[in-house]
Amino acid sequence: MPSTTLAVRADEDPWTDEEIEQVHTELLGDIERLAAELKTSAVELREMLAAGVDGAGNDQADVGSNSLERDAEMSLAANQQLLLIQTEKALERLEDGSYGICENCGEPIGKLRLMAFPRATLCMECKRKEERR
């Protein structure tokens, strides 16, 4: 990955090439892991749907349990898909040099925040404001 200068807050040291590479590697690993989890979820959902949803031969508790399991699996898959998209976007920002800039106010997000949560798109102040809404 080419050397790039990323935004940092005034009280932070600039990103080192090693730190940038560490975040890059972590994001790539997350993409691979999430893609594999999505593939597994898709197979499990297909199997659940192929088993049928009509409940023929099952009592009401079995039908309810199967529905709950299917809904949980669908929710998990949707969450994995969202995380995958966020991770891919973070990787794109890292590669184009816009990584670390708050999407709301345009100020640096903060190096420590990004190292803890590499998909962050908002600085702490903007994130607090968003959560209060």
- 66 and 22 within one domain: yes
> 97: helix, coil or strand?
coil
pLDDT in tens, the chain (133 residues): 545 689 999 999 999 999 999 999 999 999 999 999 999 988 888 887 777 655 556 676 666 677 788 788 888 889 999 999 999 999 999 999 999 999 999 999 999 999 999 999 999 999 999 999 8
Phi, psi (degrees; rounded to nearest 5) at 57: 85, 0
Query: What CATH number is given to the structural domain containing 40?
Result: 1.20.120.910
**Quick one: DSSP state of residue 107?**
S
- 87 and 70 within one domain: yes
For the whole model, what pTM was predicted? 0.80
- 108 and 90 within one domain: no
- 112 and 94 within one domain: no
110/100 Cα distance (integer angstroms): 7
Q: Is residue 1 a part of any domain in this protein?
A: no
Structurally, how many domains does the chain consist of? 2
Q: Is residue 33 a part of any domain in this protein?
A: yes
Show the domain range for 35: 17-99
